[in-house]
């Protein structure tokens, strides 16, 4: 019951906060891009949460824990905490004052990319039961090297790039893409620090880095 209440509280808090950051600056609830994004984000999130609660409550509990201990990761989280609200507010003002004209098909493509990233994210959680939101090495943790982890070392972050880089286009804003220009930089910083922790603390991770050469994007980096 405690896990259920915690998960439901964070879900509802996120929903209300995102709604406020979009609809208040837009000055109206008649913001179709905002409703589209909220549907694409929170509908799969609810389904995923229910599945985890029923099938893998321990993993759900780890995903709800955001008390980061690593100093570098605290900085990364702080930067992310600026990027997302800035994007939401800027996109909402863009809608309100008509700065951008994003075509229907661009919005469709952005939505497909977002859902593709969401699907990857779900697959990563299926493959890796050690997947915590914080950077840590858990007791008896083993290196995962199959599935998406056989393509890149950090497929979860690859999934978030697919999800979040086209996010402003779902909201109907080109201006909203400006804050997300910093998002790949944040991800790179997080990965470099995470790999240092894993190399030092997780048995077999050094060998895994030799086996899987690319961190984020196959044949690129």
Q: What digits encode the pLDDT tens for the residues 185-206?
A: 989 988 988 888 888 888 888 8
Angle between helices 57-64 and 32-55 (to 10 degrees): 130
pTM: 0.86
Backbone angles phi, psi at 182, to 5 degrees: -90, -10
Over range 181-185, report the average pLDDT. Answer: 90
Tally of CB atoms within 10 A around 139: 5
Q: Retrieve residue 25's tokens.
A: 């600056």
- Cα(219)–Cα(52) distance, integer angstroms: 33
Give 4-33 pLDDT, tens digit per residue: 888 888 889 999 999 999 999 999 999 999
pLDDT of residue 100: 92
pLDDT of residue 6: 82
Mean pLDDT check: name the lowest of 53-57, 203-207, 216-220.
Answer: 53-57
Q: How confident is the model at residue 69 (pLDDT cuts 50, 70, 90)?
A: low
Residue 65 has pLDDT above 80, yes or no: no
Which is more confident, 136 or 105?
105
User: Which residues have a Cβ under 8 Å from the Cβ of 207 and sit 6 or more positions away?
Assistant: 143
- Cα(121)–Cα(114) distance, integer angstroms: 10
Q: Over the chain, what is the mean pLDDT?
A: 87
Over range 59-83, report the average pLDDT. Answer: 74
pLDDT of residue 135: 55
Give 116-175 pLDDT, tens digit per residue: 999 998 888 888 766 665 555 656 678 888 889 999 999 999 999 999 999 999 999 999
């Amino acid at each position: 019951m405690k896990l259920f209440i915690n998960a439901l509280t964070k879900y509802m808090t996120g929903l209300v906060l995102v709604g406020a950051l979009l609809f208040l600056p837009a000055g109206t609830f008649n913001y179709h891009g905002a409703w589209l994004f909220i549907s694409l984000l929170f509908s799969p999130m609810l389904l995923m949460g229910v599945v985890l609660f029923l099938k893998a409550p321990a993993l759900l509990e780890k995903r709800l824990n955001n008390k980061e201990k690593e100093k570098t990761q605290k900085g990364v989280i702080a930067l992310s905490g600026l990027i997302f609200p800035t994007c939401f507010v800027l996109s909402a003002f863009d809608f309100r004052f008509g700065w951008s004209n994003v075509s229907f098909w661009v919005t469709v493509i952005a939505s497909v990319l977002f859902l593709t990233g969401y699907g990857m994210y779900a697959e990563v959680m299926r493959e890796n039961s050690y997947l915590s939101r914080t950077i840590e090495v858990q007791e008896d943790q083993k290196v995962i090297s199959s599935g998406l982890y056989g393509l890149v070392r950090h497929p979860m972050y690859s999934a978030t790039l697919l999800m979040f880089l086209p996010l402003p286009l779902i909201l109907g804003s080109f201006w909203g893409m400006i804050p997300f220009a910093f998002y790949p930089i944040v991800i790179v910083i997080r990965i470099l620090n995470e790999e240092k922790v894993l190399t030092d603390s997780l048995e077999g991770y050094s060998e895994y880095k030799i086996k899987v050469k690319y961190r984020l994007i196959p044949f690129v980096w």
